[in-house]
Amino acid sequence: MGRPPSSDENGLKKGPWTSEEDEKLMSYIQKHGHGSWRALPQLAGLNRCGKSCRLRWTNYLKPDIKRGKFSQEEEQTILQLHTVLGNKWSAIAKHLPGRTDNEIKNFWNTHLRKKLIKMGIDPMTHRPRTDFFAALPQLIALANLRQFINQQPWDDHTAGLQEQTAQAANLQYMQSLLHSAASIAASPTTTSSLNSLNMDLEQINFLSPPQILSPSALEGIGGIDLAGQMSQNQMPTFDHTIGNINTGSHNNIETSERHCSEGENSSQKRSFLYENSLPPLTDMAIAASNICATISTSNCNGVSSPFPSWSEILLDEELLNEFA
């Protein structure tokens, strides 16, 4: 692993360390301490630069280094510290005995960062991502879950359970909507103020359940051909056998798009939906705001919904406190 063996312009070796080199470095430092890193290689009989020796020692050879998988506690600690410290890996490492900054940095980049993105959280701000599209699969899935629950032939014994489940689904659905909306409102880069957001939200009540989002309902939103990109079989479904929601994951979207014809700006549109190619958050916030505007001029005036409007949800103090 790492780099191929090579040497720099001074003839100093680069690349992976051999066990012989490790042994030389360790025995020298154990006897004399590292002292001046620049002088160390010559004194220890190593054909390496001092910097390389220092990195090898601090990241790998130091006796108190803990190796292996990160525990749940360590993971939580890193997440919490990253919220406060950002990419200050050495500062974070000080709170994790035995872990090096390099190891923490790698763990962040390979695991935690991706994990947060999958959860719809911006890894840099630790806030929910400020776009509707990131939350769209979850929103659609929750809407469909609700419909699924309502359509089931429940008997008297399960009616109570149905009601509770439906309430839970409603609550979760509204919470997701609220999160998305609040993120946009909180974004310093978005152009829509809370007032205009409320206005927009009132006008997109048609998205409230129990109406199920179909590809045709999504067609044309914000000039983005979602219907073409999310084919019917990628729409969220409820897995009856294991009780899981198939949200029509980003991977599904990506796969389905390979079979779609490439329309104008299709690659640009596609990038909107990719989990791992995140567009700038500012763009997404503006796009979301544009979508609201587009919807408000083109859809469902006067459609009544048994559910509270988004603005009603937003203005509900009790709910706000609960979700705060």
Partner DNA sequence: AAATATTCCAACCGCCCGGTC
Partner DNA sequence: TGACCGGGCGGTTGGAATATT
Alpha-carbon gap, residue 148 to 141, rounded angstroms: 10
CB of 5 to DNA, least distance (A): 8
CB of 47 to DNA, least distance (A): 11
* C-beta of 4 vs 63, nearer to DNA: 4
* C-beta of 89 vs 310, nearer to DNA: 89
Alpha-carbon gap, residue 140 to 280, rounded angstroms: 23
Secondary structure in 3-state letters for 145-180: HHHHHHHCCCCHHHHHHHHHHHHHHHHHHHHHHHHH
DSSP letter (8 states) at residue 122? E
* C-beta of 102 vs 296, nearer to DNA: 102
* C-beta of 60 vs 238, nearer to DNA: 60
* C-beta of 94 vs 315, nearer to DNA: 94
Pairing of strands 237-239, 244-246: antiparallel
CB of 297 to DNA, least distance (A): 38
CB of 67 to DNA, least distance (A): 7
Alpha-carbon gap, residue 74 to 78, rounded angstroms: 6
CB of 107 to DNA, least distance (A): 6
- The CA-atom distances, in angstroms, between 79 and each of 106, 151, 213, 305, 315 are 14, 41, 35, 40, 31
Give me the residues that bind DNA (CB under 7 A), please: 1-4, 8, 13-17, 35-38, 50-52, 54-56, 58-60, 87-91, 101-103, 105-107, 109-111, 114
